[in-house]
Amino acid sequence: METSELLKKVRKIEIKTRGLSKNIFAGEYHSAFKGRGMTFAEVREYQYGDDIRSIDWNVTARFGHPYIKVFEEERELTVVLLIDVSGSREFGTVSQLKKDIFTEVAATLAFSTIQNNDKIGVIFFSDKIEKFIPPKKGKKHVLQIIRELIDFEPESNKTDIAGALRYLTNAIKKSSTAFIISDFIDTNFERDLTIASRKHDVVAMQVYDIRETELPNVGLIKLKDAESGERVWVDTSDKRLRTTFKHAWGEGQLALQKAFTKSGVDLVSMSTSDDYVRALMKLFKMRA
């Protein structure tokens, strides 16, 4: 992309998403994520009304009556965006591609982060780590992130969410809030998701297209897998095929939701035809 065109796109994204983060999400972001980064302060005796999940079982066993761990809020939060840059992000049949939603959601979160004086970093991943931008503060840093979101060209079209989660766990030493922005067209990442969520506050943001949920009845069409490049002819006039396709999507979503619930990770889904502002509001209210 030419420099002048890129700068115009960056400016357009900046105006829209900075306004959203400042006027709509400033308070919601703070209440949803501030205080999630906690440091250990002390151990004290259990008092009526304390959260039993905070009980320190080792100390309790030693003294014969319950003690709890007390944590205090860290003043500074570190936010990490894990951005899926695999081939399937180029898909979209309504008004926007999935990658357009990825970009605007990520930019909105980035501006919300710096307005709260927090650090933000980005991990771009396919089936490998394509690029890592270490967490920093400041508008200049966020604009660099937005430029990469718009113009980044990955080396691979495939996906490995497990690998991205392992990189997060190893590269970010301090407990952080991590947003995975992806369509989650992948499998076998539950174990690494659970490990990552023990160290970090992980939030999953799924972006999908309506045509991934059901096929229209438009006769014989050729479909291409954006990640493998494989092409197949499909007869969409076959009602049984359309029903099977829709059922497979539903089963996949149930499995995805189950995996995130089991790992203690919040999941919010949005389609390319949805208003992502509503999805973000839903996420913030879910965590308030």
118 pLDDT above the threshold of 60: yes
Both 54 and 139 in one domain: the answer is no
CATH number of 86's domain: 3.40.50.410
Top mean pLDDT of 25-29, 96-100, 120-124, 249-253 is at 120-124
Both 49 and 183 in one domain: the answer is no
pLDDT in tens, 223-271: 777 677 788 888 888 889 889 989 998 999 999 999 999 999 999 999 9
Least confident of 33-37, 65-69, 202-206, 247-251: 33-37
Both 45 and 83 in one domain: the answer is no
**Structural domain of 54:** 38-73
Q: Report how many domains make up the chain.
A: 2
Q: How far apart are CA 108 and CA 104, in angstroms?
A: 6
DSSP 178: E
What are the angstrom distances between the C-alpha of 165 and each of 115, 195, 244, 260?
A: 26, 8, 31, 13
pTM, full prediction: 0.81
Taking alpha carbons only, the member of 16, 208, 177, 27 closest to residue 108 is 16
207 pLDDT above the threshold of 60: yes
Sequence-distant (≥ 6) Cβ neighbours of residue 107 within 8 angstroms: 13, 14, 17, 142, 145, 146, 149
Top mean pLDDT of 147-161, 231-245, 272-286 is at 147-161
Both 57 and 19 in one domain: the answer is no
pLDDT in tens, 12-43: 887 878 777 776 666 677 667 755 555 666 78
Q: How far apart are CA 147 and CA 169, in angstroms?
A: 26
Both 118 and 43 in one domain: the answer is no
